[in-house]
Amino acid sequence: MAAKTSYDVVIIGGGFAGVTAARDLQKRGLSTIVLEARDRLGGRTFYEERNGFHVELGGTWIHWTQPFVWAEKERYGLEVQETPGCVAERIAIKMDGTVQDLQEAQLGEFVEGFERFFAESKGVWERPYDIHHCWDAVCERDGMSVADRLHALDLTPLQRTSIGGFLEILSMNQPQNASYVEMMRTWSLTGWNYPLFNDTAARYKFTKGTGALVEAISRDGGFEVALNTPVRSVQHSSDGVRVTTESGEQLMAQRAVVTVPLNVLHSVEFEPPLSELKLEASKLKHVGGGCKVFFEVEGDPGAVMTLSRSTDSPLIGSFTYKRGEKHSVLAGFSLEPDALEKSVAEWQLVLEEFIPGIKLLSTFGHDWGGDDLSRGSWCTYRPGTVARFTDELPRQEGHLFFASGDHAQGWRGFIEGAIASGSRTAVQVAETLSA
Ligand SMILES: Cc1cc2nc3c(=O)[nH]c(=O)nc-3n(C[C@H](O)[C@H](O)[C@H](O)COP(=O)(O)OP(=O)(O)OC[C@H]3O[C@@H](n4cnc5c(N)ncnc54)[C@H](O)[C@@H]3O)c2cc1C
């Protein structure tokens, strides 16, 4: 329940985009409230205790190649810890039906595969925050999927499997559904460099969880928060914005910042309606799906990474997440719709193919695809949509502003993108109010 009926700014959604925008606006002296449908802030990041382990059920890894989130980490003095399986002692790859350990002599071939796959990246994303810098190159390849690019290259089986598996994790979908241009953007953001690409993907996580950063931003920001407050509709005119919650409560504001995930944006009613292109993008949905599944195992499996394509295993990748003498935890990724319903016995068979002798004790995770407030995991655009949607999704409409990791420039699809987008949008909103 809101304390007042009128604010300078109302923020719809309290993930990283929302809380960052709220902090930056409140600190500029604008009265700001976050309306969040869940019973907690953080959105698609969710640090929780499950089965006696503290894990990140959603967004997890950050890196200093990501300037906004790393600045927040430094600003609030938050510690990070390493993920053992990202600097693996053993990488088990399933190819041609059998699991093999990556040998030191194969490392060159492995990395060369990524370099060949991404060979066009510099010409497409010479400036990965600016889609217009190499606009023609983006448009020429926009229709291509990861599968199209894989088919066009003469790769070795090791290269095909490792790139295929890695990019299925990065996109959380099959190669035919993921945009090749978008994968090149991430590679470019890490300096066209495999070790940085790998480390950015899964090496450093907050020691006290992403929740510690959400908490630090909220405390510092001092903005008002209304949890358990789903927004049903938004009306806007030159006079301002009227927001109606599911329970019928109404709030007035001079400006609104909409931060709900792309895949659920169309479930909020807007009057006048959102642009046709925004609605089309939301109804079409981004293709980031799949499941992050945690495996509690007996003993210490060591620092292990596994990799496979979804055509060969329900487990496209996993790595040791926490090591312990008695129990350890692996974080895994799967594109199977029933991944979280599979029994321990079913996953045991899958895991022991990669890690012989392993004993699985339990599995757990959060179903982000089945969650009405996310309808997907992290954002991956479909082939053929990047050029059309990139400028439109964050475009202001009247007194409505849009911030989200799902349409950030640069690190789209990441915590970094959400913070960058929230921060940038706060400046835009504040400028219109002080003009
Ligand atoms: C399993 C998983 C793993 C990931 N791993 C990583 C990773 O390792 N590193 C990384 O950088 N990123 C990762 N991501 C992506 C990252 O978590 C997201 O990009 C980022 O958190 C998105 O933030 P956001 O604020 O844009 O959206 P969200 O966090 O989704 O916030 C939007 C908020 O809007 C709320 N909402 C929705 N509808 C309404 C409504 N009608 N009224 C009010 N509120 C509403 C939602 O409840 C939510 O809290 C991962 C995501 C998932 C799901």
CATH code at 326? 3.90.660.10
pLDDT value at position 389?
Answer: 97
Residue type, 32: T
> 424 and 403 in contact (C-beta within 8 Å)?
yes
Residue 178 and residue 261 share a domain:
no
- The count of C-alpha atoms lying within 13 angstroms of the C-alpha of 425, restricted to the half-sphere facing its C-beta, is 37
Spatial distance between the Cα atoms of 121 and 336, rounded to a whole number of angstroms: 30
Residue 155 and residue 100 share a domain:
yes
What's the domain count of the chain? 2
Residue 116 and residue 182 share a domain:
yes
What is the CA(24)–ligand 1 centre distance, in A? Answer: 19
Spatial distance between the Cα atoms of 44 and 148, rounded to a whole number of angstroms: 30
Longest dimension (CA), the chain: 67
The residue nearest atom 53 of ligand 1, judged by CA position, is 377
State the DSSP code for 357. Answer: T
- Asked if the structure places residue 237 within a domain, the reply is yes
Which are the contacts of 371, defined by CB distance < 8 A and separation ≥ 6? Answer: none
- Asked if the structure places residue 386 within a domain, the reply is yes
pLDDT tens, residue order, the chain (435 aa): 788 999 999 999 999 999 999 999 999 999 999 999 999 999 999 999 887 889 999 999 999 999 999 999 999 999 999 999 999 999 999 998 999 999 999 999 999 999 999 999 999 999 999 999 999 999 999 999 999 999 999 999 999 999 999 999 999 999 999 999 999 999 999 999 999 999 999 999 999 999 999 999 999 999 999 999 999 999 999 999 999 999 999 999 999 999 999 999 999 999 999 999 999 999 999 999 999 999 999 999 999 999 999 999 999 999 999 999 999 999 999 999 999 999 999 999 999 999 999 999 999 999 999 999 999 999 999 999 999 999 999 999 999 999 999 999 999 999 999 999 999 999 999 999 985
Residue 143 and residue 88 share a domain:
yes
Alpha helices per DSSP H over 39-193: 67-75, 107-117, 121-124, 135-141, 146-152, 157-171, 180-189
Residue 242 and residue 114 share a domain:
no
Q: Which of 367, 394, 424 is the last residue of a domain?
A: 367
- Asked if the structure places residue 71 within a domain, the reply is no
Residue 132 and residue 98 share a domain:
yes
How many helices (H) and strands (E) would you count in the chain? 15, 20
Other beta carbons within 10 Å of 14: 26
* Residues of the domain holding 23: 6-45+209-286+379-434
pLDDT value at position 435?
Answer: 58
CB-neighbour burial class of residue 338 (10 A; exposed 0-12, middle 13-18, buried 19+): exposed
Residue 224 and residue 197 share a domain:
no
Q: Which of 317, 346, 367 is the last residue of a domain?
A: 367
Structure tokens at 360: 């699985």
pLDDT value at position 171?
Answer: 97
Q: Which of 367, 395, 422 is the last residue of a domain?
A: 367
Residue 198 and residue 123 share a domain:
yes
Residue 179 and residue 308 share a domain:
yes
Structure tokens at 277: 């292109």
Residue 274 and residue 390 share a domain:
yes
What is the CA(15)–ligand 1 centre distance, in A? Answer: 6
- Asked if the structure places residue 151 within a domain, the reply is yes
- Asked if the structure places residue 253 within a domain, the reply is yes
> 26: domain CATH number?
3.50.50.60
Spatial distance between the Cα atoms of 350 and 196, rounded to a whole number of angstroms: 29
**What angle, rounded to 10 degrees, do the helices at 194-202 and 180-189 form?**
100
Residue 182 and residue 119 share a domain:
yes
pLDDT value at position 434?
Answer: 80
- Asked if the structure places residue 115 within a domain, the reply is yes
Structure tokens at 143: 């229709």
Residue 194 and residue 102 share a domain:
yes
- Asked if the structure places residue 76 within a domain, the reply is no
**Which amino acids bring their CB within 6 angstroms of ligand 1?**
12-18, 35-38, 43-45, 58-61, 230-231, 259-261, 264, 268, 292, 368, 373-374, 377-378, 404-406, 413-416, 418
Atom of ligand 1 nearest to the CA of 415: 11
Atom of ligand 1 nearest to the CA of 377: 53
Would you call the peptide bond into 272 cis, given omega within 30 degrees of 0 as the criterion? yes
- Asked if the structure places residue 57 within a domain, the reply is no
